[in-house]
A and B are shown apart, each in its own frame.
Chain A
Amino acid sequence: MKILVINSGSSSVKYQLIETSFELIERDSDHVLALGSVERIGTSSAVHTYRPAGRDKVSVVREILEHRVAIAEIIRTLTAPETGVIREAMEIEAVGHRMVHGGEKFTQSALCTPEVVQEIEDCCELAPLHNPHNLRGYHAARQIMPDVPHAAVFDTAYHQTMPAHAYLYGLPHVLYTRHGIRRYGFHGTSHRFVGWRSRKLLGRPREETRLITCHLGNGASVCAIDHGRSVDTSMGFTPLEGLLMGTRCGDLDPAVLFYVMHKEDLTEYEASTMLNKHSGLFGVSGLSNDMLELVEAEAQGHERAKLAIDIFCYRVKKYIGAYAAAMGGADAVIFTGGIGENSPIVRARSTAGLEFMGARVDPALNEAAIKGKEADISTADAKVRTLVIPTNEELIIARDTLRLMKGKLQPTA
């Protein structure tokens, strides 16, 4: 079955057309037929990049003023005689949508009925930067493909298994009941995917495995997974909490905010932009939010690039230690995401000194881990395995969509 997976942002639509079925899942051989993205939607120079499996990437620049036009363009490209991978749009049997926030209502993926869509809209207040854009993609795709099932797969859903002592803040309880102020956590689909893959690699049953998954990209979070369930994660009410990120500050004494707003005479808006877009690796280094660039700069003696990397890795290590304590130990530490998959330096520094808990990375294996491939980079004698696993959120979205259509959704992958 061919399922179109859509991740819609404010001015972009990323997509993958995935062939999947229960038989293919069984053999773990469901696969991508084509993937691409439309960026700069809303301008006369939108860029559509498209890559059919096994063929070269093509890019087209043209006017695309709204998401509906972008999705129509995607369908046209997928079905075009010269570039296409399917003959007609009818071959797409379902659409899976990435949704950032499902609040407390969605503990797993859901088919987009009018009620479900209304509930997702109700969550917009919690994720004003994401949900509305995800929904725009949904409405656009629904208009173009009104007769196939559409499913929503939430970033927050996987973390809904956290216990109250992990998700509540030390605030007046009424703020939770009145406004839903709590830790929701994000990147759930990614943590779920790499958790599942690592159990397969380790050959261990869900019930007997404690994992610490580190999704390190421009946004970054760590998740503690026990019995296949998320029991804690570093992002909180919003994706601002936890690790140092590309441009986000992560953990911060909230009193700093009031003090800085007063000292610098900042409005709420300026303060929010400062924490979300001018902080993190970029803010500390004053150079870049790109880890590769920072590593190069550090090698040339750029001190604040080194400092930014050090803060980043130190925080990852702190969370690994905290989650090992929370679960009474761990069986594996997993790195994924753009930085987690591609930066041996970050993996090495984030795990240095974790020998006390049984994790020891083999420097040669760490350096040799190849982009896009799964790897065990631990020394032979390490009790806690350290793994690199490329994430694949789209695959989970496609599989959940299939399961929802067939009424066979299980809580985890």
Chain B
Amino acid sequence: MGWRLVKRDTPLPGGQVRAFAVGLLLALVLGSILLLAAGHNPLSTYQRMLDASFGSLREISTTLDRAVPLGLAGLAVAVAGSMGLWNIGAEGQIIAGAIAAAWVARLAPDLNGFSLITLMLLASVVGGALLALGPALARAQLGVSEIITTLMLNEVAIRIVRYLVNGPWKDPLSFGFPAAPELPDQAALPDLYQRSNIGLLIAAVVIAVFGWLAARSRWGYELRLAGSSERAAQYVGISLKSKVLTVLVLSGAFAGLAGGILLTGSSDRLVEGVGGGFGYAGIIVAALALMRPSGVAAVAVAFGAVQVGGLAIETQGVPAAIADILQGLILFGALTAAVFGNYRLVRGSADADTTETADPVDESAGTESIGTDLPGEIAGGPA
């Protein structure tokens, strides 16, 4: 006797939204236990979080500004994920994008604002793509796991930026603080409203266009087909090698753009912490969007709000750890909810017949790959 998960014939409709809502609810309930234990009033804490993220236009603009790198990094992970690939290297690609953009500003500091920013953002796209190129080639040509290579390149990118801001690019006027010199004034992205800048529009357009292409184009269809079954994709003559290559490089390019926007929008100089953890948060955003590029924008805004709210309650004396735990709980709850979109919980003994039915099938099912299967599983929700 006991509980068992049984796969639904058809996933629950509206899984994506429902997953996030249920996850949020679960997190708030569990979080209030934590907050009570720490001696804080959960309701006023949550009220504070809400105010800080959506309280007024100014707060909303802060949340949206935060959502820009989250959304682009999420798009990077989701594009790869819709084909069953894991780009864990968005963090490094963000850094590479920022380095490339900063380099352009060093080379041509006297260009006018429009040209300089355009070149910097283009450079950031190339920078992110270049960092992803190695893992893409290794995966496409040799089948080397992109999970490992992209993850390890994060460390490489962090070392490079550390070397630059401590060495050749170090600002002599920074009083020993490891940072590159200030960017030229005209290299700052124009403001849009309060805390948001033009980067919000750029990210929104990029996410909308690629979200739409992934859902509606031949290219997107081929990605989903290859993500569902590589052999089925081969069967209709899709070249997996070139798909893997282009998708991973494109994924790196999106993350690189996030780096460029972070540098030109939110920062006045290149520093070691330019990545800000957005690359890793992007994995969470993509997972919550069920690896669907069209879903990352909404998730990024919601996740941005949680982050902004989390920062706000820290100033009220709530430990930073609890704010982090709340974020973790939301992810955990939403992913659990996503599972129940595809599975039902039933009570009953695993009676003899049902277990044995599974047995003869077992042997063939066991040969499926595990490593690359997960994004697809997550993406198995309603279309």
Q: Are the chains A and B members of one assembly?
A: no
